[in-house]
Structure 1
């Protein structure tokens, strides 16, 4: 990676650090109940596996991923597939969550308000559709790309 690329990653991590701080706080709380942190270089995130709360799956906050399972490299359905809008092949959960890490690193503190304005956790949300697109193709993680 070039110096410019490293500088961009550092600036993105700094820009989203308020979100990461929330993720670390929740991760530390989960660790009291058995969650285990692990750095995943490929995802640019600390993943707290065995997150003890929630319906299952994962949630990203900055450079932190809270995951209810033991392995982030598992298949999952896209939001459109789960909503019955279409039949799509499964994607890898880690790839989907990595797209959210990228989104956070660009939008920083603006991510959460924009995410909620775009519909929250639903198939209508352009952030979720972009994360699914990235997980399926390796391209298009930006919520306003096609």
Structure 2
């Protein structure tokens, strides 16, 4: 696909998911008052708020915003299936997992959050999480309805 066409599609996706991105920006701005800091990550196409002060740890994506409780998004983490004891899998990079969610948001826009919640929320059963783990493991298959 020509670079100009790809850039146009990403721009249209960013506009489509803007309501989600605005939610992430509001949450990220609240975190700034408690020590979070933000920077743009070109590869993830997202503004990342590091040291976001709430939650159990890890990261959560809203559109083109990633809220991360740690210092470095390039940190290794386990897959949802590994954490749930369903499989022994090698570690993945959190950045790759969250990038898959950004791609999902670019396509689904405001439909992402309702579909994500209906699919099981933050759990190993959620097809969005399994797809993000698959993408982080292989570099392919970020679409939640792709064949494994």
Bucket of the pairwise TM-score, normalised by the shorter protein:
over 0.9
**Partner residue of 2:44?**
43
CA distance in 2, matches of 1:5, 1:89: 31
**C-alpha displacement of 1:3:** 1.2
Deviation at 1:15, TM superposition (A): 0.3
**4+ runs deviating over 3 angstroms:** none
2:114 equivalent in structure 1: 113
What is the aligned length?
146
1:81 aligns with 2:82: yes
Query: How far does residue 18 in structure 1 lie from its aligned partner after superposition?
Result: 0.2
Match of 1:92 in 2: 93
Deviation per CA, 1:11-67: give whole Å up to 9, x if none. 000000000000000000000111101100000000000000000000000000000
Q: Give structure 1 stretches of 5+ with no counterpart.
A: none
Q: Does residue 103 of the first structure (1) align with residue 82 of the second (2)?
A: no
Q: Structure 1 length normalisation: TM-score?
A: 0.99
Q: TM-score, length-normalised on structure 2?
A: 0.98
Structure 1 distance, partners of 2:54, 2:38, is 15
SS of alignment partner, residue 43 of structure 2: helix
Which digits, 9 at most, give the CA deviation of each residue in 1:46-103, with x for residues without a partner? 0000000000000000000000000000100000000000100000000000000000
